[in-house]
Structure 1
Amino acid sequence: MQAYFFTTLLLVSLAAVSHSAGTNQSHSVAWGGRMFRDTHLERVIITEKSRFLRVVTRDYHFQQIGLQRRITQIVVTDQVRNGGGGYAHLVAGGPNSHFVKIHFKSQRNKGFSFIVDIYGI
């Protein structure tokens, strides 16, 4: 079951990367898939300003309190669409779990701005 999950996650990530390699230079990515009766669990904007000759990073943690809903999809939308934005990496949790940890990293001498939407059932 875990092998199937990681294989699916890898294929979705590769599809997102190949999609962003075209004329659209956005680094947006989506993990998982929406299902019937999904609810929007959270929307957050993650932003870091650039620092001279540095790479800036930031981690985002989503932990549910109370009712534990299963995450079905995570959509990370890059707001810097000219290819100068950062990158998002799923570190822990994600689809089919109750939490998520995402690591954001900029390009050298650049900042980033992402919108993170989390859906669950």
Structure 2
Amino acid sequence: MPAFDELRDSLVYIRVVHHIQGRIRLKLVAGYESLAGQGRQARQFQSILDRTRGVHGVRVNLLARSCTVEYDPQVIPVAAWDDFLTGVDSPAAAILEQILREIHREILHDEL
């Protein structure tokens, strides 16, 4: 699995297309064209989200280039998703980034 910052850099290709409290739909935008890369990173992204505290479900649709995440807003603040994905430095984004970094470290440790 690549370094967390490498995965974070790929977030520039992800947009929020729909968001209600507890459920967010993300879309991979044009500019990230490699299907092989999409599949590999989608699996890595899903692996991280599947193990993320506060996430109840993840559905990835490679053909639609989208991902739906059901989450607990008591654990992950609603504003965290938009802020984290757009690079806004906020307390909400910091919570989500900390949770994701912890999971990423666990996955790397498990791979050893």
With normalisation by structure 2, the TM-score equals 0.35
With normalisation by structure 1, the TM-score equals 0.33
Q: Which has the higher strand share?
A: 1
Of the two, which has the highest radius of gyration? 1
Q: Which has the higher contact order (CA 8 A, sep 6+)?
A: 1
